[in-house]
Amino acid sequence: MKIFTNLINLIELMKTTENFSNFALTLFGAAILIFSGCKKDDDDLNTVKDADGNVYKTVTIGNQEWFAENLRTTKYRNGDAIPTGHNKAAWAGLTTGAYTVYPHSEIDGLNSGTEVLGVYGALYNYYAVKTGKLCPAGWRIPTDGDWTILIDNAGGSGIAGGKLKSTRTAPVAHPRWESPNLNATDEYGFSAIPAGLMSHEGDFLFNGYGSYWWSSTEEQIGSWYRAMIWENAEVVRPVVDKRFGYSVRCIKE
């Protein structure tokens, strides 16, 4: 749209130009405006590809560049498959990397695990995070400090959730939050979506109601994470068991 606006401005300037010299200067200046407009539009559409070939939009907030979508790769960046398909008991006993996908049977409007993976991403345990191979080359799992910088840039933990949450709210198509999705403005294009989680005991919970993302910062009993929910604008920061299945957002190195 900026290109068309600049072209219209160029035409108007041509109409009022009184001599060729002035016209040449006008044309040069207008060309700069047009191409600078193209450059900015392209910058807004940065993408990156994972080991499965999935393409992700990215967004710059402050001095950080983040995925604007949840990770959905089924492979580590070296091409190795990430184990999946565990039953509840097996998941609860894992001490190695794995992922799962929220059951489509529990999400009204989606008809397969592939659809769920495509719109909400995968749920990874911390052992997959700890390998350091989940994100594409040049990208990594954010530390607890990285998350703190993001939340501070978005106004602090009391209101940042609203500015970072997607505005998509039921009954629109997935991905979406359940109503009321309070205070959601998606001001920065981070587009947080409520993928839910897999508990350490292998139970799926909270799709539509909560977003949960790992950090790479490990504690003795687990890892720090960030969460947002449908009924307020807060971002919370607890520690959780490493066997939980959470979403992942990558940050640029």
Tokens at 180, concatenated:
């009321």
The predicted pLDDT at position 45 comes to 53
End-to-end CA distance of the chain: 32
Are 134 and 153 members of one domain? yes
What average pLDDT does the segment 171-190 reach? 98
Quote the domain boundaries for residue 126: 47-252
Is the confidence at residue 67, as pLDDT, over 50?
A: yes
Are 99 and 130 members of one domain? yes
Are 145 and 184 members of one domain? yes
Is the confidence at residue 144, as pLDDT, over 60?
A: yes
Burial of 121 (0-12, 13-18, 19+ CB in 10 A): buried
Are 162 and 184 members of one domain? yes
20 pLDDT band (50/70/90 cuts)?
Answer: very low
Are 11 and 124 members of one domain? no
Are 6 and 62 members of one domain? no
Are 116 and 128 members of one domain? yes
Are 52 and 96 members of one domain? yes
**Pairing mode of beta strands 123-124, 139-140:** unpaired
Are 80 and 106 members of one domain? yes
Are 122 and 238 members of one domain? yes
Are 38 and 62 members of one domain? no
Is the confidence at residue 105, as pLDDT, over 90?
A: yes
Output 7 or 129, whichever has higher pLDDT: 129
Instruction: State pLDDT tens for residues 123-140.
Output: 999 999 999 999 999 999
Tell me the C-alpha distance between 126 and 80, whole Å.
17
Looking at the structure of the chain, the number of domains it has is: 2
**Total-model pTM:** 0.82
Instruction: State pLDDT tens for residues 36-61.
Output: 333 333 344 588 999 999 999 999 99
163 pLDDT band (50/70/90 cuts)?
Answer: very high
Tell me the C-alpha distance between 187 and 48, whole Å.
22
Q: Which amino acid is at 26?
A: T
